[in-house]
Amino acid sequence: AQSVAQPEDQVNVAEGNPLTVKCTYSVSGNPYLFWYVQYPNRGLQFLLKYITGDNLVKGSYGFEAEFNKSQTSFHLKKPSALVSDSALYFCAVPNNNDMRFGAGTRLTVKP
């Protein structure tokens, strides 16, 4: 079965600094990878996806993700963090008819 793992429960960064939220994957065949964000008391919102092509994928709100096949990673990045980026971030991979989500990483950006 396809799966993803998020090794960090919590990431803290200062506003204006770059941020990275880590994700590793285990898939058979070509990987399709997604990032979603969840704000308090809300559903998940799609940020970006990797299907094929360029290893650097650009998404919503200035986020990007780097696909690394040799390290089986798909880390989420942003050059300059905002306080409003504070949320729960989920990496995900399709598995037949369902989407498999990681356990989530709580990002806190401090002013």
- 90 membership: H or E segment, kind and range: strand 87-95
Among 49, 72, 77, 82, binds other proteins (CB under 8 A): 49
Q: Specify the residue, 41 or 111, whose C-beta has the smaller distance to other proteins.
A: 41
Q: Does 96 bind other proteins (CB under 8 A)?
A: yes
Among positions 21-40, residues that touch other proteins (CB under 8 A) are: 32, 34, 36
- Phi-psi category of residue 46: left, alpha or beta, with phi > 0 → left and psi -120 to 50 → alpha: beta
Rounded to whole angstroms, the Cα distance separating 78 from 56 reads 12
The answer to whether the CB of 59 falls within 8 A of the CB of 48 is yes
Q: Specify the residue, 16 or 69, whose C-beta has the smaller distance to other proteins.
A: 69
Among 10, 54, 97, 111, binds other proteins (CB under 8 A): 97
CA-nearest of 102, 94, 96 to 38 is: 102
Q: Specify the residue, 9 or 111, whose C-beta has the smaller distance to other proteins.
A: 9
3-state secondary structure of 69: coil
Q: Which residues bind other proteins (CB under 8 A)?
A: 32, 34, 36, 41-46, 49, 51, 90, 94, 96-104
